[in-house]
A and B are shown apart, each in its own frame.
Chain A
Amino acid sequence: MSAMERLAVNRLRERLPLDGPTIDRFVERYGCPIIEGERATFLYRGDVDEVWIRHRVVGLPDPLPLKRIGESDLWSVTTVLPEGSRVEYQVEIRKGEHYERFNDPLNPRLAHSPMGSSSVCAAIGYRVPEWVAFDPEARQGTLVEEQVRSKALRRDQPVQIYLPARFNRAQRYPLLVVHDGTDYLEFAAMKTVLDNLIHRLDIDPLVAVFVPPRDRLKEYPNHAPHARFVARELVPLLTDRLPLVDTPEARCLMGSSFGGVASLSTAVRYPGLFGSLLLQSASLVFTDIGFDHGGGPAFDPVVKFVNRFREKPSAVVDRIFMSCGVYEPLITPNRSMVPVFRQTGMTVRYTESRDGHNWENWRDRLGDGLSWLFPGPQKFVYE
């Protein structure tokens, strides 16, 4: 291995002992993490007793300990990171008895979620899809906030209705019901994504309704009132008020994690009402024997539901788009469900990404999923 092919941090080690200005220049030059081929080197600088990288990548040790370089205050660890990977992480330190966890102070790149923010390590080959960023040329759809009176949920349920640019009552639109709707808008830039994909003719103009939960762990794992609200109250209300294509093929339920379970369980309770599902890292945890699923009490209703579905699988929609990150624990259940869905006759498009259980992963997969479920009018346009 030539000097240029050796890792930067190893070349730095050859210059021990390190003084402050040398470390300053190194950090300034390389930043953090340092991506070299399919390797990522994480750095931490500080007067501490121990440092770890905390992440949720299945297959890598978590916590991932850093080692001090010589007698300096610079710590590092290098790990393999295959091309196209994207990892969210934090730094944890120990100083005496004091532990602290925070975003990487040497890395300005952050991802956000309802749980807070994380630092992002993007491997070589990872690109944020170009349709994620605001495009001034893309015509803007509109979001309308509403309260829907729900007998099923015994409350007023807030929703946000997305109407595509150039919305025209003389046209008819498919309907997309989005679980965790507020989070999809805030953390997956879904309005911008819809605007851009429609503008690029990648997807048909559609109406989307973004529905947030109130008590997510109760309402999303196979909850009859939630399903009744979506199927018997929300969809009929929107079909009555908006120019929607009134066929199952034009109705899609989508969600991530527990929202994926909510989508599937609603379709199971109302088979034939919806034509498709878009499931992202769905929490489709099951057991083949016994009930020791390891997911904690929140997963009990999920496992009951998925086990029952696996015992008697049925075609509840025509098509399912599924995606999952290979670095998340749910990769095995998701892979396992693909043949179960397919054996019912449902058409399944399944994609994996080198990413984890997070909103930017779900955002990045929206292009593939939505364009498969709602193919755009590219074939009609010849500029």
Chain B
Amino acid sequence: MSTTILLGPQRFTTTVGSTVRALGVTGRIAMVNSGWEERESDDAELAGHLDGRGVNLRLHHRMMDVLSKDEHFAAAARAFRDRMDELRTFYGIRLQAAIDAVQAVAHRTSIHAVGPIAEESAMEAVREVDRWYAAELDELYRSVRATAPPDESGTIGWHRGEIGAVLDECEAVVIAGGNVRTLLWTLRVFDVELRPEQSVVAWSAGAMALTDEVVLFHDFAPQGVTAAELHDRGLGRLPGIVALPHAKRRLQLDDHERMSVLARRFAEHRLLLLDDGAVVRFPDGATDLPAGARVLDRTGHVTVVGAA
């Protein structure tokens, strides 16, 4: 299996070109930027960084085509989105209450050592809300697959064939950022499978999509649910990692208590910070975090993997 590289955001510090060149890739490179949605075709700059060898899989464009041609699937997709929105609303209500409880318990004075037990129990309640959401989401996917199986859609099948043919010719894949919901949905519907021999370079939402657990976060969002939210499963190429792009801009990294809650909540994952300039290499199919990667530890502090 070949190399996977996660990069920091590319808007201000563009490293994708040099990263791909350093991989020694000589063939074509598949570009996935469906997270840009209707701006997907504005890919000239990205293609330029790839020395003109990029081939856009046009997943968003293909999705629009499917939705306009396959009425049965389009109706199922709309119903799925409505139900997922409702599920997310209820999840947000339950999650915020559970997170608030953790913070309230943590701030309460404990004289007889009940505090830590209560806090761990409150934290487990948060994890239970996450598990409930994940289970309901699985059920939702099962339901939509039963109602309108993508495998039975001629239009989707035709696009899958084209995508597969393009991927077969590509030596590497780059996955850009954007709207992670749209990106994941297009990857899922078109059943995009990254070949084991293909190197992959991804950033921002693209990096999140390569993990097995996609977590939404924005501590500085003006309103809404302030807690990080589980969203969906990713492609799972990098299991055990929660990717946190724009960490400095989106997380209150100085609030160690808040960061600790986040890290302990996803205790089975490594929380990887991907800020501007970050380059995290996973060579030869490795999934362990390499030395130098910046992560959030259970105390809520940023640490560097491999640092003494």
Contact = CB atoms under 8 A, between A and B. Distances in A.
User: Are the chains A and B members of one assembly?
Assistant: yes
A381 B204 CA distance: 9
A383 B179 CA distance: 8
Interface in A159-179: 166, 170-172
Nearest to A379: B216
Interface in A108-160: none
B78 A170 contact: yes
Contact of A172 (B11, B82, B223): B82
Interface string B99-132: 0000000000000000000000000000000000
A272 interface: no
Interface string B193-213: 000000000001100100000
A216 B217 CA distance: 45
B280 to A, nearest CB: 15
A343 interface: no
A177 B96 CA distance: 29
A383 B177 contact: yes
Contacts, number: 63
Chain B contact residues, majority secondary structure: mixed
Interface in A345-383: 367-368, 371-372, 375-383
B218 interface: yes
Contacts of A371: 222-223
A382 B208 contact: yes
B38 A379 contact: no
B67 A170 contact: yes
A381 B180 contact: yes
Interface string B149-180: 00000000000000000000000000001111
A377 B179 CA distance: 9
A195 interface: no
Contact of B179 (A171, A202, A372, A380): A380
Contacts of A368: 222
A379 B217 contact: yes
Contacts of A379: 216-218, 221, 224-225, 229
Interface centre among A172, A372, A380 (most CB of B within 10 A): A380
Nearest to A243: B78
B148 interface: no
Most buried by B among A367, A368, A371, A381: A381
B47 to A, nearest CB: 18
Interface in B219-234: 221-225, 229, 231
Contact of B204 (A249, A378, A383): A383
B11 A383 contact: yes
Interface of B: 9, 11, 35, 38, 67, 74, 77-78, 81-82, 85, 89, 177-182, 204-205, 208, 216-218, 221-225, 229, 231, 245-246
3 shortest A-B CB distances, which residue pairs? A375-B224, A382-B204, A379-B216
7 contacts: A170-B67, A170-B77, A172-B78, A375-B222, A379-B217, A382-B178, A383-B204
